[in-house]
Amino acid sequence: MIGARLRRFGRRLARGFRREDGTATIEFVFVVPIVLTIFMASMESGLYMIRHVMMERALDLVMREFRLGRLGTVTHDQLRNLICDASPYLSDCRSVLKVSLEPIDTTTWKMPATPPTCVDRGGTIENEPTFKSGDENEIMVVRICAIQDPIFPTTGLGLELKSDSQGGYQMIAATIFVNEPS
């Protein structure tokens, strides 16, 4: 009795393995996660590029006005606000953007050793950004750092970007100019 039931179960199982309906489901299960990961990484990198290009453009526009002397003497907050006004794609710009302005030593031609200061939204800033206006004919480097949130933080590009304690990634832009004589 039990042997007959086992044989029937074995025949049904063998018939089930010979059936071909549902094979597309297996391909779907393997392919869709890969396609979705590529799609999400593409969206993430596209948004990152838009934000970064617009941040660099804003820095260039503001620094052009600064070099031409149209801004006069500015503070860190004023310069940050001007950059944020020129960059509409940075979300919550005034609280996540830091500006560092410092001279380059022309005897050694070395860039500043410290990396640009970025905000850590979950903690405190270890070192405040350097903001020295410099003297006439002095070569200055301006570096800005903003923290932005990824769209898909757990896939593709979102995993590779350097992040703060809240999961936002750093975007850094820099430019160099010479303080013109008055």
- Give pLDDT, residue 157: 65
What is the share, in percent, of the chain residues with pLDDT greater than 90?
15
Give Cβ neighbours of residue 130 (< 8 Å, ≥ 6 apart). 100, 101, 102, 112, 114
Is the pLDDT at 66 greater than 70? The verdict is yes
User: pLDDT at position 70, please?
Assistant: 82
Is residue 158 very low, low, confident or very high in pLDDT (cuts 50, 70, 90)?
low
Contact 116, 100 (CB under 8 A): yes
Half-sphere exposure of 70 (CA within 13 A, CB side): 7
Residue 91's alpha-carbon distances to 33, 149, 180, in angstroms, are 29, 9, 33
Q: Are the C-beta atoms of 90 and 77 separated by less than 8 Å?
A: no
Please give the average per-residue pLDDT across 13-33, as a whole number.
Answer: 79
What is the Cα gyration radius of the chain? 28
Q: Return the SS3 of 5.
A: helix
Give the model's pLDDT for residue 44.
86
The whole-number pLDDT of residue 103 equals 86
Task: Please provide the average confidence, as pLDDT, over all residues in the chain.
Answer: 82
Asked if the model's pLDDT at residue 59 lies above 90, the reply is yes
Place of tokens 């005897």: 107
For residue 127 the two structure tokens come to 């070192």
Residue 96 has pLDDT above 90, yes or no: no
pLDDT band at 119 (very low <50, low <70, confident <90, very high): confident
pLDDT surpassing 60 at residue 127: no
Give whichever of 107-111, 145-149, 178-182 has the largest mean pLDDT.
145-149
Higher-scoring residue by pLDDT: 147, 123 = 147
